[in-house]
Structure 1
Amino acid sequence: MIAPQQTESIKDLVENIHKENILLPEFQRDFVWELSKTCELFDSLVRDIFIGSIIYGKPSFEITVREIDTRPRKGEGSRRKLATKFFNKEDIQRMTQINNFRIILDGQQRVTSIYRALTGVDEVWFIAKNEEELETSVREKALRERTLEEMLFEFSLQEDEDRLSIKLSDAFLISKGDILDDDIKENYFGKLSCIAGMDEEELKLAFRKYRMICVKLGELFKSDKLLSYYLLNMDTEKFALFFERSNSKGIQLNFIDILAAKLYKGFNLRQKIEELESSFPNYYFNREIIVRAISYIVSNGKEVDRNYILSNLNYEHFNMYWDEVCDCYRKVLDFLFKERFIISQKWMPYENMLIPLIIFLRSIHKSDFSQMNENQYEFIKYWYWSSIFAQRYSSGSNEAIIQDASILSNIAQNKKISDKAFFSRLKIQITSPEDILSFSKKGNVIYKGILNLINFASKGLIDWSNSSQLHLNSKLEDHHIFPKEYIKNKFKDNEQILSLIDCVANRTLIPKITNIKIGKKSPSRYLKELMKINPNIVESLKNHLIPTEIIDGAYDDFYIAFLEKRAEAIFKLVEKYIIAKEQKIVDLFYQPPKTKGNIKIFASYYNKKVEAIFDIETQQVHYNGEVLSVSAAADKAKYNLSGKDNTSTNGWRFWKYINEQNQERYIDDFRK
């Protein structure tokens, strides 16, 4: 039944999907991966981490198949019905012989993610490390000798303003060899934000690096041993058995388990977590949040990644900071619930956002939220909701944690923000009520964010059976306001409506028991029944941002009108709490870098530190008794530290300074 394991290239995979030689059986589940999973997938491919085998099938029977999902994630076309085709036995026999036709039995999420990223349906960016961020041994290599893994900073969902960024779909097109360098410069490289302000020599070096990374990405895409797969020749019975028996999952070892074993001699991590949960049974404490917060403190705000944690943290650090961090963790959860930022921990959009809040609380007077002033509270509100709706923590969250923890720590100390790029990182992805209709997956952070924002705006959601408020960690379900079965029966021939069954505009959080009682009835019918036990049901609906006319049956036959009405109401909340607040927050908290005077600057090279003085007004560096340009001073410093004179450096990304918020920043902040 099964052929030996084989391999293929990403390029061949994409081309075969494009030619419809690879399709999905019609009954396969929908594509559900969030973009963050796509980033993780390409990170694994670059680091040569096994991503699992794809399993294809060559059925010997008639079958209906459907296309790979290439719909946009929101907006026009996002709810288009996927095309299906029926093939009889003769069709399949002919196609398998001529075109190597196959269907995907296992690996749909991986295959679809790869295809969407390389064809530009989803934007995924390779973010390259700046020269000074490379390991010393890598910097000594010629550019062509460096591996993608050595140059990779992260895969991200957006371009990095401070680092060279290559969109994977651009690299895939360029790798085909049909585009001239002049066109690449104009249409791809020339549109990058990170090159703004570069001089001619810097642009030349940056473009050379851009082209080399594109070449190496092209080699990755063309590697015929990158993807492994099995090919099954199957009759109907074996096909069914495969799907019945292939849905098992193994146990994944988390790096925190490894850390626990390392600390065990002087700090029993598992026991400490059990004690914490026993003392506060109404809370769930994520041990990884505590560990990363301790790592941030121990590293002086520089590291929260697993390599640093496993290599540098010891039991003394945990004995020193455990109680303090856990106390702040509990207080942050109290604050988020009491202020209605979350309705339950299960529905929290991003747990990693707890770490900057823990650091904020630790930096505020007496580690008590009651000690913050009104402006600080306004900032916390804006940062919290903007981060969620900008999906800030969906990729590269370690850097987001460090940046935000540093920013929030300074806000707690009444300091300003001199990094204007910070505010651009909080640009949200919802720009109209129509966008609300695009979110239907409960794992999506914006989906969760919308439900929590409704809770925040209403100052706490209330039940439908009575007027009592829902409590932290209540057993809540995202109830369909228009029940699924009602929609399926009432609008069974309307594809547009059927595609919007799970839309977040048709969802609200209520207790599971209430949800079960509602069943398959029309909205007006089950709400009138609820009115018998709760005469104040109208107030409950207002509380959940649901048009009250729904009780009278005004929307029973007009589901789309209901969705549009509620989406408009939800979008007004987004405007009120995020969009309308943006300029006020910038005015209150942004402080431009100074434009005159001298500042101390420094750099590290070959694990040695060198210092100098930077004149902001003249844009020159005073180094070793000489007055030099920024890049010339960097080259000279490198020579003095290494003895090598063949270095060429972007000095603006070599020299650093300490800003007024006690953050390390590149002097690129001062480039005119």
Structure 2
Amino acid sequence: MKIFLKPEVWPIQQFIENITERDNYYLPSFQRDYVWDEDDVKSLIDSIIRGYPIGAIILWKPSDKDFIKGDPFSIPLIDTDGDNGGDYYYVIDGQQRLTSLLLLFNEWKIQRNGEEISLEPISLYPTPNGGYRLYKSDKRGIDISLLLKVFAEPGMSSLQIYNKLIAKYSEDYIKKAEPIIKRILEYKIPVYIMSTTREDPETVMEMAQAFIRINKEGVRIGNVELMLSLLAGKMGGLIRDTIYTSYKEIRDTGFEIQIQPLIRLVLSNFGFGQSQISHVERFASSLDTLAKYPADQIKPTLDKSVNAFKLAVRFIQRELPLPSAQLLPSQQTLVPLAKYFYTEDIAEFNNLSTEEIGKIKHWFILLNFIGYYSTSPDSKLEADLRAITESSGVFPYHELLRNVEQRKYPTKIKKDHFMRGRNVNVLKRSGRQYLFILYLLMAQNDADDWAGHPITRVPYKDLARHHIFPKEFLNQNLVIDDPTDKEIAINNLGNITLIDKHMNSEIGDLPLHDEDAQRYSGEDRGYISKIGLSESTLEKHFIPLDPDLWKLENYEEFLRERMELIYFTLRRAYPRIIG
């Protein structure tokens, strides 16, 4: 037995101190991106205050810390001033929750691998009867992060923050918040530490299987992704360094790719079959053999591969346009596109005909929407890469669609398939294809972020997934008994758009319609008239212009009407893939 499980329970405060001051926590490349927003974090904090379970954190502690330190594609959970001197861990499950807690304890900003991750403040409003309200802004209530600093450990810095707070709020108001903040500080998180006695290919396979079984977030990741992350260090120095440099260059543009698609392309161009990668022993042995090749035999193929991949990314950024790989339901769709550019020696896609560009775009959108590579990606990629290498100088659109058809996947997006977005929580991974389509159509519509900037010119990390009927407003006033049904009713495609983060926080839980604002919030106007959103702006976000549909009593009709507007734009923009 090479894997040992040790369950523990750590108070939040101790866990944060372990991460920032004692031990060293790293993310494998498949766990890299933080995708939660203020609504997610507000729900997490609310669960902690109420004493609800928030799930376990699962860590992998290798026997040799150099196993992690030697992985060129892992990154720290949070940047610290060098080695903390303690143990080394991979965060296998719980990255979103840990990152959220780090933001909570660090005034909503942290550095990760030299990049800033930030959120708008979550504030606490203690009510007179000992209760509380949470807000996605520091304009109502007190910033919880500051309150944690005051009550966590008394000291000079916490005294200074306390004095600033009582200058702005009454001392009694701060004291009312103390027992609520103590619930956060005393909350205990279950932590499972999976220790390994040695780190060989067989152990990697075991950890891959463990990850598949314990993962609760719906992340479709299998043996290949974990092995590519953890065995990347076995590749020769030139291959590893070139891949890493190119990978970092792409991420520096804000596109936020994962490493696996790039490694898949490179290995394919060195003769590796996608299915071959699944056999861990043979895969590791082949990497050892490849590492021994002379540099002059490797470099031309390697350079051509990374250039083809970069071109595929630029194509997606310009032609769709797509600002971040976080929007992609499957990043594996980049592999066949890059393979086509590699096979046909295409250095720039300006020379492609309008017809060919259209076919590539339609194929790319279709496969992402239907989730083609979500299951059994190895054999599907193998068949698609073969079709590309055997093509006669043009993108093999029809051959690739035949591969899709043979797997019993749809080759057209039918209306009823698209309308399922009305019955799916699009903020979860299982609904990502609908958020992907929504962004593309908003880009087609020249939609802005409600702060005066076209969304195509705004970094994706600065856009909030805004609930048109505010989430908290619906939570309080929408009468649906089943919690899952209620969650879907609030978070379905019909109620989501993308706007500026600060604007989203400013709106908070204020309703759309003036009458609802007066009835439920004690405000004179709903946020549409308060902000002064024009009809043109509303139309570009597919928001029906009939003010009666903005009332809570007509919420269901609003959703139906908005879904029709989105579908109409989809049919007009991409007729080739509409059935």
CA offsets 1:277-329 (integer angstroms, 9 cap, x no match): 25862243432222110121122766562436433242347534333222222
Q: Which residue of 2 aligns with 1:367?
A: 347
Q: How does 1:462-611 map to 2 (within 5 A)?
A: 462-471=448-457, 472-492=459-479, 499-524=488-513, 525-531=526-532, 537-550=534-547, 554-576=550-572, 581=577
Q: TM-score scaled by structure 1?
A: 0.45
Q: Which residue of 1 aligns with 2:313?
A: 333
* Cα gap change, 1:399 to 1:582, in 2 (>3 Å): farther
Amino acid at match of 2:269: I
Secondary structure in structure 2 of the residue aligned to 1:508: strand
Contact residue 308 and residue 342 of structure 2 kept, 8 A: yes
Contact residue 469 and residue 495 of structure 2 kept, 8 A: yes
Q: Which residue of 1 aligns with 2:403?
A: 422
* Cα gap change, 1:434 to 1:278, in 2 (>3 Å): closer
* Cα gap change, 1:497 to 1:279, in 2 (>3 Å): closer
Q: Which residue of 2 aligns with 1:400?
A: 380
The Cα RMSD (Å) is 4.1
CA offsets 1:160-201 (integer angstroms, 9 cap, x no match): xxxxxxxxxxxxxxxxxxxxxxxxxxxxxxxxxxxxxxxxxx
Which residue of 408, 412, 421 maps to 1:436? 421
Structure 2 residue 286 is the aligned partner of structure 1 residue 312: yes
In the aligned structure 1, how far is the partner of 2:2 from the partner of 2:433? 30
Q: How does 1:133-212 map to 2 (within 5 A)?
A: none
Secondary structure in structure 1 of the residue aligned to 2:379: helix
How far 1:51 moved relative to its partner? 13
Contact residue 336 and residue 342 of structure 1 kept, 8 A: yes
Amino acid at match of 1:269: R
CA offsets 1:464-486 (integer angstroms, 9 cap, x no match): 11143443544323211111111
Structure 2 residue 316 is the aligned partner of structure 1 residue 344: no
CA offsets 1:585-637 (integer angstroms, 9 cap, x no match): xxxxxxxxxxxxxxxxxxxxxxxxxxxxxxxxxxxxxxxxxxxxxxxxxxxxx
* Cα gap change, 1:278 to 1:497, in 2 (>3 Å): closer
In the aligned structure 1, how far is the partner of 2:439 from the partner of 2:508? 24
Secondary structure in structure 2 of the residue aligned to 1:509: strand
How far 1:263 moved relative to its partner? 2.6
Contact residue 376 and residue 411 of structure 1 kept, 8 A: no
Contact residue 366 and residue 577 of structure 2 kept, 8 A: no
Contact residue 357 and residue 405 of structure 1 kept, 8 A: no
Structure 2 residue 308 is the aligned partner of structure 1 residue 322: no
Contact residue 468 and residue 512 of structure 2 kept, 8 A: yes
Which residue of 434, 437, 440 maps to 1:447? 434
CA offsets 1:323-381 (integer angstroms, 9 cap, x no match): 32222222222221222352422222111111011112223453322122233223212
Q: Which residue of 2 aligns with 1:287?
A: 259
Secondary structure in structure 1 of the residue aligned to 2:428: coil
In the aligned structure 2, how far is the partner of 1:318 from the partner of 1:461? 46
How far 1:497 moved relative to its partner? 5.7
How far 1:561 moved relative to its partner? 0.8
Q: Which residue of 2 aligns with 1:156?
A: none
Comparing 287-296 and 321-330, the one that deviates more? 321-330
In the aligned structure 2, how far is the partner of 1:523 from the partner of 1:321? 56
In the aligned structure 2, how far is the partner of 1:412 from the partner of 1:493? 56
How far 1:491 moved relative to its partner? 2.2
In the aligned structure 1, how far is the partner of 2:242 from the partner of 2:404? 41
* Cα gap change, 1:491 to 1:243, in 2 (>3 Å): same
Amino acid at match of 2:385: A
Q: Which residue of 2 aligns with 1:81?
A: none
Q: Which residue of 1 aligns with 2:368?
A: 388
Secondary structure in structure 2 of the residue aligned to 1:462: coil
In the aligned structure 2, how far is the partner of 1:345 from the partner of 1:286? 8
Gaps of 5+ in 2: 8-52, 57-183, 196-206, 209-225, 514-525
In the aligned structure 2, how far is the partner of 1:447 from the partner of 1:247? 34
More helix by share: 2
Gaps of 5+ in 1: 1-47, 55-103, 108-239, 584-672
Q: Which residue of 2 aligns with 1:298?
A: 270
How far 1:405 moved relative to its partner? 3.0
* Cα gap change, 1:580 to 1:357, in 2 (>3 Å): closer
Q: Percent identity?
A: 18
How far 1:580 moved relative to its partner? 5.1
Amino acid at match of 1:542: E
In the aligned structure 2, how far is the partner of 1:539 from the partner of 1:282? 31
* Cα gap change, 1:476 to 1:467, in 2 (>3 Å): closer
CA offsets 1:522-548 (integer angstroms, 9 cap, x no match): 0241122222xxx6x432322222223
* Cα gap change, 1:493 to 1:268, in 2 (>3 Å): closer
* Cα gap change, 1:434 to 1:301, in 2 (>3 Å): same
How far 1:390 moved relative to its partner? 1.9
Contact residue 329 and residue 433 of structure 2 kept, 8 A: yes
* Cα gap change, 1:342 to 1:407, in 2 (>3 Å): farther
Amino acid at match of 1:512: K
In the aligned structure 1, how far is the partner of 2:249 from the partner of 2:273? 30
* Cα gap change, 1:276 to 1:449, in 2 (>3 Å): closer
Q: How does 1:98-137 map to 2 (within 5 A)?
A: none
Contact residue 497 and residue 560 of structure 1 kept, 8 A: no
Q: Which residue of 2 aligns with 1:358?
A: 338
* Cα gap change, 1:343 to 1:573, in 2 (>3 Å): farther
In the aligned structure 2, how far is the partner of 1:483 from the partner of 1:566? 16
Q: Which residue of 1 aligns with 2:91?
A: none
Amino acid at match of 2:462: K
Q: Which residue of 1 aligns with 2:167?
A: none
Amino acid at match of 1:480: H
Q: TM-score scaled by structure 2?
A: 0.52
Amino acid at match of 1:488: N
Which residue of 186, 190, 197 maps to 1:246? 190
Secondary structure in structure 2 of the residue aligned to 1:464: coil
* Cα gap change, 1:403 to 1:455, in 2 (>3 Å): farther
Amino acid at match of 2:561: K
How far 1:503 moved relative to its partner? 0.9
Q: Which runs of 4+ in 1 moved over 6 A?
A: 48-54, 104-107, 240-243, 249-253
* Cα gap change, 1:557 to 1:106, in 2 (>3 Å): closer
* Cα gap change, 1:275 to 1:418, in 2 (>3 Å): closer
In the aligned structure 2, how far is the partner of 1:461 from the partner of 1:502? 21
How far 1:384 moved relative to its partner? 1.4
How far 1:578 moved relative to its partner? 6.0
Contact residue 332 and residue 358 of structure 1 kept, 8 A: yes
Q: Which residue of 2 aligns with 1:261?
A: 233
Amino acid at match of 1:565: E
Secondary structure in structure 2 of the residue aligned to 1:466: coil
